[in-house]
Structure 1
Amino acid sequence: MRFHTRKWIKPEDLNPNGTLFGGKLLAWIDEECALYSIIQLENSKCVTKYMSEINFQHSARQGDIVEIGIQVLKFGTTSLTLKCEVRNKMTRSTIITIDKVIMVTLDEEGKPTPHGKTKVEFVKDRLQNKV
């Protein structure tokens, strides 16, 4: 699993219990999965179709730094299936896991469209191939 983004837990991210609000964390995950899919599938119109069971394992508190990890499980015809884990950067304890997030590429009319991708590609490799 590759960990791409880090977030610093600030007062506005907390729930009344003084821990990271789950909705805020899910929004960060959704955004990270969308960005990853847009870059991977080279289509700016990617949407979340499905998220499997969400497993909160540890809480995060103000001042903690968390990192969001994503792993590609499968390339579908119009979709990309990901796995996600968020962990505390300093302690490496897992905060949340989501076994399956399905992202779908859309055409100009908002309908699922084939993306033609079959494997993980890195932007740096794409740029070298275009030179």
Structure 2
Amino acid sequence: MENFKLVLPEHLNHLGKLFGGQLLRWVDESAYIAARMEYPGCNFVTIGLSQVEFRQQVVAGAVLRFVVTKVKQGNTSVCYEVDVNEIDDCHAKSVFATTVTFVNIGPDGNKVPVV
């Protein structure tokens, strides 16, 4: 699945660069959408990210492409790799990559199998 975001001034930190927390929000959201589309009816919650390393600074006006790919499915969990690239004149610069792990929970808040 692909998703795109335009970096606006309200997404910047006090130094005029993309706030890391904003990027993490978009990463989690993109992975969650992919999981919900692939497993309708499941109630996923994020339980972890494999790593957090910001590779490039991003400024206002940048277009970011989020590429989300399922890499693993367990009994109660699924993992999605998220690659974030800045698209500039048809070239892509790697900004961030991680694997997001979700667990499926039932009404009582306990883990249940992914169906």
1:105: which partner in 2?
104
Contact preservation (8 Å) 2:47, 2:102: yes
Amino acid at match of 1:97: A
Post-superposition shift, 1:15?
0.7
Post-superposition shift, 1:43?
2.5
Give, in whole Å, the separation in 1 of the partners of 2:41 and 2:55.
33
Give, in whole Å, the separation in 2 of the partners of 1:46 and 1:89.
30
- Can you list the C-alpha shifts for 1:46-67, whole angstroms capped at 9, x where unaligned? 1101111112111111001001
Contact preservation (8 Å) 2:18, 2:59: yes
Gaps of 5+ in 2: none
CA RMSD, aligned part only?
1.3
Q: Secondary structure at the match of 2:16?
A: coil
Instruction: Answer with 1 or 2: which has the greater Rg.
Output: 1
Contact preservation (8 Å) 1:52, 1:101: yes
Post-superposition shift, 1:44?
4.6
Taking only the aligned residue pairs, the percentage that are identical comes to 26
Alignment partner for residue 35 of structure 1, among 10, 33, 36? 33
Gaps of 5+ in 1: 117-131
Contact preservation (8 Å) 2:76, 2:113: yes
Alignment partner for residue 20 of structure 1, among 18, 23, 32? 18
More helix, by proportion: 1
Give, in whole Å, the separation in 2 of the partners of 1:24 and 1:80.
23
Contact preservation (8 Å) 1:19, 1:59: yes
2:86: which partner in 1?
88
Give, in whole Å, the separation in 2 of the partners of 1:43 and 1:89.
33
Post-superposition shift, 1:69?
1.2
Amino acid at match of 2:95: I
**Given the two structures, how large is their TM-score scaled by the length of structure 2?**
0.91
